[in-house]
């Protein structure tokens, strides 16, 4: 290829040098020639400035005037020639054409430096005899060789980068598909070559133990590397490690500083983390106004969770004036962007009719979306709604599907409610052994309701040997765990002296606790004790109040007991109201 041609960095085809060196010769091109690729017509990137004497690349913006009127670099490295000698060249001034370059210097800059010293050593008269225009002709050839050396190095680097980019893309694709074992060697290679994105993904693999043995200190090292390289995401992940004391000594202040750096760098998720910490007062002084500011930034950065959490602030009037319509809009945005929590909160609003018109169909649709997005709790709650017919028509088959999904995903209460369906043969064939296994799993995993249901199995000997003491112990565990019905059932054990020593006062206290927790069974039995004066001072007015409360909760036994109390008062036949069993 001709000396005045070079190559396009995009397609590799020959291009004309527009910024041709100002020297005589048949190969010089006029400046009016368009700087475009002769093959693809793409415009070329404007070139840098190069010093004819030292060969140093000089950005035009980096040239400043010195007291001698000579240009110098911003870093104070002097340039010994007038500014007029800093000339524009094309980004690529030569290439390895098919014929190959001739007489390539091992270190072309060294030759340039020698010629520079020679020129500088000339006396003033000698310089008149050898004006810069003449010397420039000789320097043209040297600069061409310099350019050739530069392009060779650039092409070598470019080839390496293209290869690395290909590895990056393949590694990231495998990582995103969850094919961690296949992604690992490629990520490791790309990270070693300096790709911060792959280093970040590699750190996440070590953090989670995905495809590799869990190694939190290694994850910290990788996140540190990416953060130091300027990755906002890497800084955010490193902040999480410090905030939770994973792989490093816990340091909340360090975590907050890293989150702040990450947020400032445009990582919306880090802004949300900061907002949530200020909202909860976790490691910082609680500041709802600052929380709103960070969550707003997260939401504006398209973080769905940030929009949802900001919606909570508007919903509750925390840090901002309470604004239900604004909360609905933010929940909607979060839900549409894939936030399960956003769908849950929006569904709750539609179910309660707060801020919008009550719409159970819309609520169920949103909760279904949240369940499909992986919200285990809402698969459980939606399944329970179908099981009990709460807000929706009863649908045992739908309930079984949802509760099975919730239980399989680790929902203890989901397992408990699924056990109920097996115990009663609702939507599935009756299987008390399967029910006991599910109740046991639920109770062991922390479901207070599961402990209550398991207690019922032991009390009646369904799927297990009858054991009243074991039943009482399970009811006690359930009650301590906050399950109101468990308190009521334990109260009945004390009232009847089954599995425990009978104690009416203890029974009344447990019924009271259960009733306060919203259990109509407990309210009914406590009302009966007040009517009969068992364990408490007789108070028929209190009894009526409790029985009416139970009846309003649609508990038929509460309504029947209230009627019986009224009948006895009318007829004078007072035989007592204690006749309930669980």
Mean pLDDT of 318-338: 91
For residues 384 and 191, give the distance between their C-alpha atoms in angstroms, rounded to a whole number.
48
The answer to whether 455 touches 475, Cβ cutoff 8 Å, is yes
- Copy the structure tokens of residue 97: 């054409």
Nearest 5°: the CA angle 514, 516, 517 is 65
Asked if residue 124 is part of any domain, the answer here is yes
The answer to whether 488 touches 511, Cβ cutoff 8 Å, is yes
Asked if residue 570 is part of any domain, the answer here is no
**Averaged pLDDT of the chain:** 76
Rounded to 5 degrees, φ, ψ at 578 are -80, 100
The per-residue pLDDT for 445 is 95
205 CB neighbour count, 10 Å cutoff: 23
Residue 458 has pLDDT above 90, yes or no: yes
- The total number of structural domains in the chain stands at 1
The per-residue pLDDT for 6 is 38
Asked if residue 61 is part of any domain, the answer here is yes
Handedness of CA 169, 174, 176, 180 (dihedral sign): negative
Asked if residue 527 is part of any domain, the answer here is no
Asked if residue 101 is part of any domain, the answer here is yes
The per-residue pLDDT for 131 is 52
Region of poorest pLDDT, from 101-115, 398-412, 444-458, 539-553: 101-115
For residues 94 and 32, give the distance between their C-alpha atoms in angstroms, rounded to a whole number.
20
Report which of 300, 299, 317 is spatially closest to residue 309, judged by C-alpha positions: 299
Q: Is 86 helix (H, G, I), strand (E, B) or coil?
A: strand
Report which of 73, 93, 101, 79 is spatially closest to residue 20, judged by C-alpha positions: 93
**Cβ-proximal residues to 487 (8 Å cutoff; 6+ apart), any chain:** 475, 478, 479, 510, 511, 513, 514, 517, 519, 522
The answer to whether 438 touches 416, Cβ cutoff 8 Å, is yes
For every residue of 251-320, DSSP letters joined together read -HHHHHHHHHHHHHTT-HHHHHHHHHHHHHTSSS---HHHHHHHHHHHHHTT-HHHHHHHHHHHHHTSSS
User: Could you list the residue range(s) of the whole structural domain that residue 53 is in?
Assistant: 5-155
CA 290 to chain centre: 20
The per-residue pLDDT for 138 is 55
Q: Is 43 helix (H, G, I), strand (E, B) or coil?
A: strand
Q: How much of the chain exceeds pLDDT 90, in percent? A: 46
For residues 283 and 452, give the distance between their C-alpha atoms in angstroms, rounded to a whole number.
38
Region of poorest pLDDT, from 90-104, 159-173, 224-238: 90-104
The per-residue pLDDT for 163 is 39
The per-residue pLDDT for 217 is 93
Residue 574 has pLDDT above 90, yes or no: no
Query: Is the model more confident about 117 or about 268?
Result: 268
pLDDT band at 347 (very low <50, low <70, confident <90, very high): confident
For residues 335 and 343, give the distance between their C-alpha atoms in angstroms, rounded to a whole number.
5
Asked if residue 62 is part of any domain, the answer here is yes
Mean pLDDT of 61-72: 36
Mean pLDDT of 466-479: 96
* DSSP bridge pairs for 57: 50
Q: Which stretches does DSSP call E strand in 19-72?
A: 49-51, 57-58, 64-65, 71-72
Residue 305 has pLDDT above 80, yes or no: yes
Asked if residue 78 is part of any domain, the answer here is yes
Q: Judging by DSSP bridges, how do beta strands 14-16 and 86-88 pair with one another?
A: unpaired
Secondary structure letter of residue 463 according to DSSP = S
Residue 287 has pLDDT above 70, yes or no: yes
Nearest 5°: the CA angle 319, 323, 326 is 105
Rounded to 5 degrees, φ, ψ at 86 are -85, 110
Asked if residue 463 is part of any domain, the answer here is no
Residue 513 has pLDDT above 80, yes or no: yes
Mean pLDDT of 327-349: 88
Query: Is the model more confident about 559 or about 114?
Result: 559
pTM over 0.85: no
pLDDT band at 36 (very low <50, low <70, confident <90, very high): very low
Region of poorest pLDDT, from 71-75, 218-222, 263-267, 493-497: 71-75
Query: Is the model more confident about 57 or about 107?
Result: 57
The per-residue pLDDT for 198 is 84
pLDDT band at 578 (very low <50, low <70, confident <90, very high): low
**Cβ-proximal residues to 287 (8 Å cutoff; 6+ apart), any chain:** 278, 319
Determine if residue 131 is left, alpha or beta; phi over 0 gives left, psi from -120 to 50 gives alpha, anything else beta. Answer: beta
The per-residue pLDDT for 97 is 33
Region of poorest pLDDT, from 73-77, 129-133, 193-197, 310-314: 73-77
Q: Which of 40-44, 172-176, 242-246, 336-340 has the highest mean pLDDT?
A: 242-246
pLDDT band at 495 (very low <50, low <70, confident <90, very high): very high
- Copy the structure tokens of residue 352: 């309660």
pLDDT tens profile 384-432 = 889 988 778 899 999 999 999 999 999 999 999 999 999 999 999 999 9
The answer to whether 325 touches 314, Cβ cutoff 8 Å, is no
The per-residue pLDDT for 179 is 87
């Amino acid at each position: 290829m001709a000396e005045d041609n070079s190559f396009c960095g995009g397609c590799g085809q020959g291009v004309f040098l527009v910024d041709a060196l100002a020297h005589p010769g048949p190969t010089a091109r006029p400046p009016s020639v368009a700087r475009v690729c002769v093959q693809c017509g793409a415009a070329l990137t404007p070139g840098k400035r190069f010093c004819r004497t030292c060969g140093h690349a000089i950005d035009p913006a980096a040239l400043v005037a010195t007291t001698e009127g000579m240009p110098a670099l911003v870093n104070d490295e002097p340039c010994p020639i007038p500014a007029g000698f800093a000339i524009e060249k094309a980004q690529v001034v030569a290439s390895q054409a098919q014929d190959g370059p001739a007489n390539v210097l091992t270190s072309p800059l060294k030759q340039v430096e020698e010629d520079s010293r020679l020129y500088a050593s000339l006396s003033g008269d000698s310089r008149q005899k050898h004006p810069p225009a003449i010397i420039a002709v000789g320097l043209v050839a040297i600069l061409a060789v310099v350019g050739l050396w530069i392009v060779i190095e650039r092409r070598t680097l470019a080839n390496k980068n293209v290869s690395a980019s290909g590895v990056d893309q393949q590694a990231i694709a495998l990582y995103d598909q969850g094919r961690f074992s296949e992604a690992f060697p490629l990520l490791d290679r790309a990270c070693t070559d300096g790709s911060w994105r792959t280093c970040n993904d590699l750190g996440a693999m070590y953090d989670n133990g995905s495809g590799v043995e869990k190694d939190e200190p290694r994850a910290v090292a990788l996140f540190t590397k990416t953060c130091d390289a300027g990755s906002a995401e890497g800084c955010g992940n490193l902040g999480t490690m410090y905030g939770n004391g994973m792989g490093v000594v816990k340091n909340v202040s360090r975590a907050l500083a890293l989150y702040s750096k990450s947020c400032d760098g445009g990582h919306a998720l880090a802004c949300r983390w900061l907002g949530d910490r200020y909202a909860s007062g976790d490691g910082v002084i609680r500041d709802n106004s600052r929380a709103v500011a960070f969550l707003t930034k997260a939401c504006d950065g398209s973080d769905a969770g940030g929009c949802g959490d900001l919606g909570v602030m508007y919903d509750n009037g925390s840090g901002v004036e309470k604004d239900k319509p604004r909360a609905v809009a933010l929940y909607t945005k979060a839900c549409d962007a894939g936030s399960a929590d956003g769908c849950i909160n929006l569904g709750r609003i539609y179910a309660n009719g707060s801020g919008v018109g009550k719409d159970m169909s819309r609520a169920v649709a949103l909760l279904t979306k949240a369940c499909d997005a992986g919200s285990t709790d809402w698969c459980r709650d939606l399944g329970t709604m179908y099981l009990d017919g709460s807000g929706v028509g009863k649908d045992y088959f739908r309930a079984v599907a949802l509760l099975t999904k919730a239980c399989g995903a680790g929902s203890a209460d989901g397992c408990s409610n699924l056990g109920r369906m097996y115990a009663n043969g609702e939507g599935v064939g009756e299987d008390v052994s399967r029910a006991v296994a599910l109740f046991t799993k639920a109770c062991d995993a922390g479901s207070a309701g599961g402990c209550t249901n398991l207690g019922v199995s032991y009390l009646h000997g369904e799927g297990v040997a009858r054991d009243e003491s074991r039943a009482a112990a399970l009811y006690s565990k359930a009650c301590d765990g906050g399950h109101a019905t468990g308190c009521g059932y334990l109260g009945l054990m004390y009232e009847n002296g089954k599995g425990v020593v009978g104690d009416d006062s203890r029974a009344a206290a447990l019924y009271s606790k259960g009733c306060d927790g919203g259990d109509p069974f407990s309210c009914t039995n406590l009302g009966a004790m007040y009517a009969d004066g068992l364990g408490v001072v007789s108070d028929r007015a209190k009894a009526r109040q409790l029985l009416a409360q139970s009846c309003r909760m649609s508990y038929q036994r509460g309504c029947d007991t209230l009627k019986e109390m009224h009948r006895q008062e009318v007829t004078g036949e007072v035989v007592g109201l204690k006749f309930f069993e669980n």
